Amino acid sequence: MNIVNLITFVILFFTILGLLFLIIKSNVQKKNITAMYIQGELDKYSIIKKLEEVSNELSIAKLSESDGFIKFISQSRDWAFQYIEEVQSALKEFDSEVVHKFEWAKTYGIVTNGGTHSKVLNEISMAYEKLKSVLPENTETPNN
């Protein structure tokens, strides 16, 4: 019976030793998994922060681009109105200088009974009337 006790003791000893080894191995794996989980969470936090920074930079860039575009449109509008005012002013000045000459040519040019000069003057007068028709009636411009 001594042998049976000895075999039982050895089997029990190795079983306890095996279980102890499994417990230690399990704890080491648990620590490694915990460390990897913590590192993963830290990496995730870093990535989220970086994404937020990039998103903010992109929104600021888009905003500044749209501000630049709006500024360009506003300047273009101002330049267009300034150009329209200058053209209208030049056309009105031209009109005030030549209106009497064209009216005289219409009235008295026919009396002289023509020629090449009267034909050219008539064509210029028709072009002048067409040009005058695009001028606004009042002196106000669209941005006044």
pLDDT of residue 73: 83
pTM here is 0.42
Q: By percentage, how much of the chain surpasses pLDDT 70?
A: 85
Contacting residues for 128 by C-beta, under 8 A, at least 6 apart: 98, 102
Three-class DSSP labels, 69-96? HHHHHHHHHHHHHHHHHHHHHHHHHHHH
The pLDDT tens digits for 63-84 are 777 777 778 888 888 898 888 8
In single-letter form, the type of residue at position 55 comes to S
Between residues 89 and 18, the one the model is more confident about: 18
Phi, psi of 134 (to 5 degrees): -85, -10
The pLDDT tens digits for 110-134 are 555 555 566 777 777 777 788 777 7
pLDDT of residue 32: 94
Q: Which two tokens stand for residue 119?
A: 């034909």
CA atoms within 13 A on the CB side of 101: 11
Q: What is the mean pLDDT of residues 95-103?
A: 79
Instruction: Report CA-CA distances (Å) from 71 to 1, 7, 32, 35, 107.
Output: 103, 94, 58, 54, 52
**Is pLDDT above 80 for 3?**
yes
